[in-house]
């Protein structure tokens, strides 16, 4: 199979979907790897490093999309990339389609099979391809929030950890999954007063043990959130439903409860945002103000640390990339039901129920569209996979 790696064109996105390690593994499996010229530069990976591991460097994105059977990316196709997506290609990347009906329509109409990193599950129902970026995004969320609290950046002018004789900042984290836990670890390390909210008592017990009593865990409810907002200096939103739009845990009417120039960091912005007043921002222009509250809503936080995040991403995705290349999507999904959950769009249909509901389009089971469970072992349709109802989770990104 020809596996293509396209350069990222999203603003301030420096990651690449495959490292030379991945190129070598694919070559060992007798697949041909095409890498767009300069694709790895943002992650300090040269074209020659790919070539040394058997990859072929091609001049343009058109070459990658025109030749490859399987295209690997990091972020969702941007408007200028959608026309390159064609029938017969499998795209494997973060898609975040629930808040993006126009992109969903474009991918659906292309006829391609689109597999989303963020809805692939493991045997325990966790999100293995989202986890490494959730860990990084959680850590960045606290770092960025601490920075934005500085007065020259528009914040309240409070030091997260305080100093002897002066109280530290109060950090409120809504969602105790991978994002929330890692955000809390950094906030604890910076000596802030930390409060983590979640609706799962079992998860709160796990976090209480993990934090060793250095942070408070709180059962999340509307009232509990409202009671904390007046004293919160930094609020990190870290909630997610698998494949679906994020729920709004703070409404605009509640911003009036907050201190002037407190900071909200919305890590769920890729899935529409978990604050009602959130809107996507970039690393170049990361914040805006609503009702006196600073909002940080960068849609690709891990893109700011590509040397860390590119390698972490490939570590997680490589086994799935090899499965897709070795077996094709249908057979790989038949062998791994968790991979099947990643199929969001296939052969002109929307094949993930949560995405279909949120974008207002008809849902069709990938099993039926792509014949995964057919007697010939999953080859009745084009390459593909199936889906079941999404599971709720907390704080993954």
> 3-state class of 345 per DSSP?
strand
**Catalytic hit among 270, 336, 367, 383:** 270
HSE-CB for 93 with a 13 A CA cutoff: 28
Residue owning tokens 């907050």: 258
| CA 333/CA 324 separation, integer angstroms | 8
- Alpha-carbon distances of 269 from 31, 207, 272, rounded to whole Å: 36, 24, 5
Q: Any residues with CB less than 8 A from the CB of 289 and at least 6 apart, and which?
A: 154, 295
- Do 191 and 166 touch, CB atoms closer than 8 A? no
**Catalytic hit among 96, 295, 327, 352:** 96
The tokens of 143 are what?
Answer: 């770092």
Q: Does the annotation count 193 as an active-site position? A: no
Residue owning tokens 């349709």: 381
The tokens of 50 are what?
Answer: 């790919």
Q: Which residues on adjacent β-strands are paired with residue 196?
A: 173, 217
The CB density around residue 290, as the number of other CB atoms within 10 Å, is: 15
Q: Does the annotation count 96 as an active-site position? A: yes
Residue owning tokens 């899935």: 271
The tokens of 53 are what?
Answer: 């591991």
- Alpha-carbon distances of 366 from 86, 132, 282, 301, 326, rounded to whole Å: 18, 27, 34, 31, 20
| CA 274/CA 278 separation, integer angstroms | 7
| CA 134/CA 369 separation, integer angstroms | 31
Determine if residue 14 is left, alpha or beta; phi over 0 gives left, psi from -120 to 50 gives alpha, anything else beta: alpha
- Do 103 and 110 touch, CB atoms closer than 8 A? no
- Do 78 and 100 touch, CB atoms closer than 8 A? no
Question: Residue 202 gets which letter from DSSP?
Answer: H
Active-site residues, by number, are 96, 270
């Amino acid at each position: 199979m020809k596996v293509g790696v396209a350069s990222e064109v999203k603003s301030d996105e420096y990651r690449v979907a495959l490292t030379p390690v991945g190129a070598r593994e694919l070559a060992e499996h007798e697949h041909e790897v095409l890498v767009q010229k300069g694709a790895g530069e943002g992650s300090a990976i040269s074209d020659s490093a790919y070539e040394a591991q058997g990859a072929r460097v091609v001049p343009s994105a058109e070459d990658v999309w025109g030749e490859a059977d399987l295209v690997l990316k990091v972020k969702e196709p941007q408007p200028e990339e959608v026309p390159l997506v064609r029938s017969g290609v499998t795209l494997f990347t973060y898609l975040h389609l629930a808040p993006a009906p126009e992109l969903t329509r474009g991918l659906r109409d292309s006829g391609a099979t689109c597999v989303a990193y963020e809805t692939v599950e493991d045997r325990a129902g966790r999100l293995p391809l989202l986890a490494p970026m959730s860990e990084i995004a959680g850590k960045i969320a606290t770092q960025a929030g601490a920075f934005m609290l500085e007065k020259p950046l528009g914040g309240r002018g409070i030091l997260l950890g305080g100093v002897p004789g002066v109280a530290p900042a109060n950090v409120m984290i809504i969602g105790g999954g991978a994002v929330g836990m890692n955000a809390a670890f950094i906030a604890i390390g910076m000596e802030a007063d930390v409060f983590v909210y979640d609706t799962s008592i079992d998860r709160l017990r796990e976090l209480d043990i993990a934090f060793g009593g250095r942070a408070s865990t709180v059962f999340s409810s509307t009232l509990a959130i409202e009671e904390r907002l007046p004293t919160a200096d930094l609020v990190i939103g870290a909630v997610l439903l698998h494949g679906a739009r994020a729920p709004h845990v703070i409404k605009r009417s509640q911003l009036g409860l907050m201190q002037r120039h407190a900071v909200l960091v919305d890590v769920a912005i890729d899935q529409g945002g978990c604050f009602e007043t959130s809107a996507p921002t970039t690393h170049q222009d990361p914040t805006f103000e609503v009702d006196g509250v600073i909002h940080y809503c960068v849609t690709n936080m891990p893109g700011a640390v590509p040397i860390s995040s590119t390698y972490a991403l490939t570590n997680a995705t490589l086994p799935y990339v090899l499965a897709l290349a070795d077996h094709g999507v249908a057979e790989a999904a038949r062998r791994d039901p968790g991979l099947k959950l990643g199929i969001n769009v296939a052969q002109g249909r929307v094949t993930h129920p949560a995405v279909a509901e949120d974008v207002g389009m008809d849902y069709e089971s990938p099993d039926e569209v792509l014949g995964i469970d057919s007697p010939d072992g999953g080859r009745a349709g084009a390459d593909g996979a199936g889906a079941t109802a999404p599971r709720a989770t907390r704080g993954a990104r």
